[in-house]
Amino acid sequence: MPTQPSNPDCIFCKIVAGDIPCHKLYEDELVLSFLDVSPLSRGHALVIPKGHWVTLDTVPDESAAAIGAVLPRISRAVCTATGVRDFNILQNNGRAAHQAVDHVHFHIIPKTGDAGLGIDWPAGSLDQDAAAELTEQVRSNL
């Protein structure tokens, strides 16, 4: 496995290195999962690549695939352990999108009637012509 990038000032890199303790839920060669220290609900967990990448769009395919492979399993385990069936996966990129730690992380947040993620969802409507143009623009950048 290639050496994973690391940032000595990053709290998640320190957790990966074992310099800061965590309540570890899962670990493999590329991925670490642990309980969030500021949980929105009981069972709120984080899943991170071991390498230091700030935003999701910069994560290499191998690490992205490794995260995707274990997210459902860890989510299932959190739900079973907490007895909560509903949950959100949250992944923020950039300050405007509420990213607080500059190391890619996925939140698994169990949702009950009174605890979990609150979402404001000011939905608009999709203009068909604009959507067709945007679709082409995105597809040309894949």
Residues 6+ apart with CB under 8 A from 54: 102, 103, 104
Of 95 and 139, CB closest to Zn ion:
95
What is residue 25's three-state secondary structure?
strand
Nearest to Zn ion of 44, 50 (CB atom): 50
Which residue from 49, 19, 44, 20 is spatially nearest to 32, judged by alpha carbons?
49
Give the integer Cα–Cα distance in Å for 101 and 118.
19
State the catalytic residue, choosing from 44, 52, 103, 105.
Answer: 105
β-sheet bridge partners, residue 42: none
Taking residues 94 to 113 in sequence order and writing x for each that binds Zn ion by CB under 5 A, - otherwise, the string is ---------x----------
Q: In angstroms, rounded to a whole number, what is the distance separating the alpha carbons of residues 5 and 121?
A: 35
Q: Is 44 a catalytic residue?
A: no
Of the two residues 11 and 79, which places its CB atom closer to Zn ion in the complex? Answer: 11
Q: Do residues 43 and 82 make contact, with C-beta atoms less than 8 angstroms apart? A: yes
Q: How far is the CB of 2 from Zn ion (least distance, A)?
A: 16
Return the residues of window 9-28 that contact Zn ion according to CB under 5 A: 10, 12-13
Interface with Zn ion, residue 52, by CB under 5 A: yes
Q: For the CB of residue 71, give the shortest distance to Zn ion in the complex, in Å.
A: 19
CA 51 – CA 141 distance, rounded (Å): 25
Query: Residue 138 corresponds to which amino acid?
Result: V
Choice between 31 and 84, CB closer to Zn ion: 31
7 binds Zn ion per the rule CB under 5 A: yes
Smallest separation, CB 52 to Zn ion (Å)? 3
Q: Which residues partner with 45 through β-bridges? A: 35, 108
Q: Which residues are catalytic?
A: 105
Residues that bind Zn ion (CB under 5 A): 7, 10, 12-13, 52, 103
